[in-house]
Amino acid sequence: MARQKVILMFALVAATLFSGAFLLAIGTIAWMFALYHDKMVAALQFEPIPQNPPVYHIRIRRPRVAQPAPRQTRITHSRALAA
Protein backbone atom coordinates (compact mmCIF):
# COMPACT_ATOMS: atom_id res chain seq x y z
CA MET A 1 0.00 0.00 0.00
CA ALA A 2 2.78 2.46 0.91
CA ARG A 3 4.66 1.56 -2.23
CA GLN A 4 1.59 2.29 -4.31
CA LYS A 5 1.24 5.74 -2.66
CA VAL A 6 4.88 6.54 -3.48
CA ILE A 7 4.38 5.58 -7.12
CA LEU A 8 1.14 7.59 -7.27
CA MET A 9 2.84 10.63 -5.70
CA PHE A 10 5.79 10.33 -8.12
CA ALA A 11 3.39 10.16 -11.09
CA LEU A 12 1.51 13.19 -9.81
CA VAL A 13 4.70 15.25 -9.39
CA ALA A 14 6.01 14.13 -12.81
CA ALA A 15 2.71 14.99 -14.50
CA THR A 16 2.66 18.40 -12.80
CA LEU A 17 6.23 19.17 -13.87
CA PHE A 18 5.58 17.99 -17.42
CA SER A 19 2.37 20.03 -17.68
CA GLY A 20 4.12 23.11 -16.29
CA ALA A 21 7.01 22.79 -18.75
CA PHE A 22 4.60 22.25 -21.63
CA LEU A 23 2.52 25.29 -20.70
CA LEU A 24 5.69 27.38 -20.32
CA ALA A 25 6.85 26.32 -23.81
CA ILE A 26 3.46 27.11 -25.37
CA GLY A 27 3.40 30.47 -23.59
CA THR A 28 6.91 31.31 -24.82
CA ILE A 29 6.02 30.43 -28.42
CA ALA A 30 2.82 32.51 -28.26
CA TRP A 31 4.66 35.45 -26.68
CA MET A 32 7.43 35.39 -29.31
CA PHE A 33 4.85 35.12 -32.10
CA ALA A 34 2.98 38.15 -30.73
CA LEU A 35 6.22 40.09 -30.25
CA TYR A 36 7.68 39.40 -33.72
CA HIS A 37 4.47 39.18 -35.75
CA ASP A 38 5.15 42.42 -37.67
CA LYS A 39 8.70 41.37 -38.53
CA MET A 40 7.58 37.96 -39.76
CA VAL A 41 4.93 39.50 -42.03
CA ALA A 42 7.47 42.00 -43.38
CA ALA A 43 9.95 39.18 -44.07
CA LEU A 44 7.31 37.19 -45.95
CA GLN A 45 6.38 40.20 -48.09
CA PHE A 46 9.99 41.10 -48.88
CA GLU A 47 10.87 41.00 -52.55
CA PRO A 48 14.46 39.82 -53.09
CA ILE A 49 16.94 41.94 -54.96
CA PRO A 50 17.24 40.72 -58.57
CA GLN A 51 20.44 38.88 -59.38
CA ASN A 52 20.97 40.60 -62.74
CA PRO A 53 21.44 44.35 -62.35
CA PRO A 54 19.52 46.43 -64.89
CA VAL A 55 21.51 47.44 -67.95
CA TYR A 56 21.26 51.03 -69.02
CA HIS A 57 22.07 51.91 -72.61
CA ILE A 58 23.44 55.44 -72.57
CA ARG A 59 24.98 57.14 -75.56
CA ILE A 60 27.64 59.63 -74.69
CA ARG A 61 28.31 62.15 -77.41
CA ARG A 62 31.32 64.40 -77.02
CA PRO A 63 32.13 66.22 -80.20
CA ARG A 64 35.85 66.61 -80.53
CA VAL A 65 37.43 69.98 -80.87
CA ALA A 66 39.15 70.45 -84.20
CA GLN A 67 42.89 70.31 -83.72
CA PRO A 68 44.68 73.42 -84.97
CA ALA A 69 47.12 72.88 -87.77
CA PRO A 70 50.62 72.29 -86.40
CA ARG A 71 52.84 75.34 -86.66
CA GLN A 72 56.07 74.88 -88.39
CA THR A 73 58.89 76.31 -86.40
CA ARG A 74 61.91 77.52 -88.16
CA ILE A 75 65.13 76.52 -86.56
CA THR A 76 67.81 79.00 -87.04
CA HIS A 77 71.45 78.12 -86.99
CA SER A 78 72.07 79.92 -83.68
CA ARG A 79 69.20 78.15 -81.88
CA ALA A 80 70.27 74.75 -83.08
CA LEU A 81 73.74 75.29 -81.67
CA ALA A 82 72.39 76.69 -78.39
CA ALA A 83 70.58 73.48 -77.52
Classify residue 4: in a domain, yes or no: yes
pLDDT computed for residue 67 by the predictor: 76
Confidence of residue 6 (pLDDT cuts 50, 70, 90): very high
pLDDT at 24: 98
Handedness of CA 16, 22, 25, 29 (dihedral sign): negative
Q: What is the pLDDT of residues 14-70, one digit of tens each?
A: 999 999 999 999 999 999 999 999 999 999 998 887 788 777 888 888 887 777 777
At residue 71, the pLDDT reads: 72
CB 35: neighbour CB atoms within 10 A? Answer: 9
How far from 15 is each of 11, 24, 25, 80, CA to CA, in Å? 6, 14, 15, 113
Domain limits for position 27:
1-46
Amino acid of residue 17: L
Question: Looking at the domain assignment, is residue 82 inside a domain?
Answer: no
What pLDDT, on a 0 to 100 scale, did the predictor assign at position 19? 97
Tell me how far apart the alpha carbons of residues 37 and 35 are, in angstroms, rounded to a whole number. Answer: 6
Q: How many domains does the chain have?
A: 1
Whether residue 76 is contained in a domain is answered as no
Answer yes or no: is 81 within a domain.
no
